[in-house]
Every structure is written in structure tokens, then in C-alpha cells.
């Protein structure tokens, strides 16, 4: 079904997946798993309510990761807009195909 709906991975086809009952159930699972907290802020020692279930690897880059729980995390709107400035009216970020590991200082 996934390959059929997203043939060509167009934005319209991917947008249809976000309207499915399956996505709504998965979204609730991720919100519960992440305790309703923004995971990006949490890594920096800040407690913020998460509102967006974010694909770490974007669906348009790898549609096979769309339903992968390990590729999803809850983030606040500010963190999501930093990753996707085009969704809040800004310029689209130029993304490079690199593996990046983020490290954050802790209070310890």
C-alpha cells in the first residue's frame, strides 16, 4: 500500500498518509512514548511540550521510514521550525546528505 500511495514520493501523495487513521494512531503512540515532551529540547536539558511528530529522516528522502517508530520523535513547534523553516514561512534549508551526530552538554 505504501509504495502504491507514494509512487514518486510527491508531496501530495505523502500528505495523504498524514490523513490516515493509521498515522493518527501512530502519532498517539509516539506522543505517549515521548511523554508529551520535545525530544530536541530534552537533549539540551530543557522541558518543553512537544506538538509535532517529526520524521528524523524525511519521508520524501526515504519513504520506507514513514511508519518506522525509530525514525519518529516528538518536538515542539520551535524545534520543528528550525529543522523546516520553509513550513513557517522562511527559506527552505539546503540539506546535505551527511550523517550528523549531535552532542549536547549536560549540567553534570
From first to last of its 108 residues, the chain has per-residue pLDDT tens of 454 444 555 788 999 999 999 999 999 999 999 999 999 999 999 999 999 999 999 999 999 999 999 999 999 999 999 988 876 554 554 554 455 566 666 766
Q: What is the total count of domains within the chain?
A: 1
pLDDT at 32: 98
Range of the domain at 21: 2-88
Would you say 104 and 45 are in contact if contact means Cβ atoms under 8 Å apart?
Answer: yes
What is the structure's pLDDT at 10? 74
Inside any domain, residue 64: yes
Pairwise CA distance, residues 74 & 33, whole Å: 9
- Kindly state whether residue 101 falls inside one of the protein's structural domains: no
Query: Is the residue at 98 inside a domain?
Result: no
Within a domain: 107:
no
Q: For residue 54, is it left (φ>0), alpha (ψ between -120 and 50) or beta? A: beta
**In-domain check, residue 93:** no
6 is a domain residue: yes
E-strand spans in the chain? 52-55, 72-75
The pLDDT, as a whole number, for residue 3 is 47
Q: Establish if 104 belongs to a structural domain.
A: no
Give pLDDT, residue 47.
Answer: 98
Phi, psi of 8 (to 5 degrees): 90, -10
Q: CA-based diameter of the chain, in Å?
A: 49
What pTM was estimated for this model as a whole?
0.72
Q: Is residue 97 part of a domain?
A: no
Amino acid at each position: 500500500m505504501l509504495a502504491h500511495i507514494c509512487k514518486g514520493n510527491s508531496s501530495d501523495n505523502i500528505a495523504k498518509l498524514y490523513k490516515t487513521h493509521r498515522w493518527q494512531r501512530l502519532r498517539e503512540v509516539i506522543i505517549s512514548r515521548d511523554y508529551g515532551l520535545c525530544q530536541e529540547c530534552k537533549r539540551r536539558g530543557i522541558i518543553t511540550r512537544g506538538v509535532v511528530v517529526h520524521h528524523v529522516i524525511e519521508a520524501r528522502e526515504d519513504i520506507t521510514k514513514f511508519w518506522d517508530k525509530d525514525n519518529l520523535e516528538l518536538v515542539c513547534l520551535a524545534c520543528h521550525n528550525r529543522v523546516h523553516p520553509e513550513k513557517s514561512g522562511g527559506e527552505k534549508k539546503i540539506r546535505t546528505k551527511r550523517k550528523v551526530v549531535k552532542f549536547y552538554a549536560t549540567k553534570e
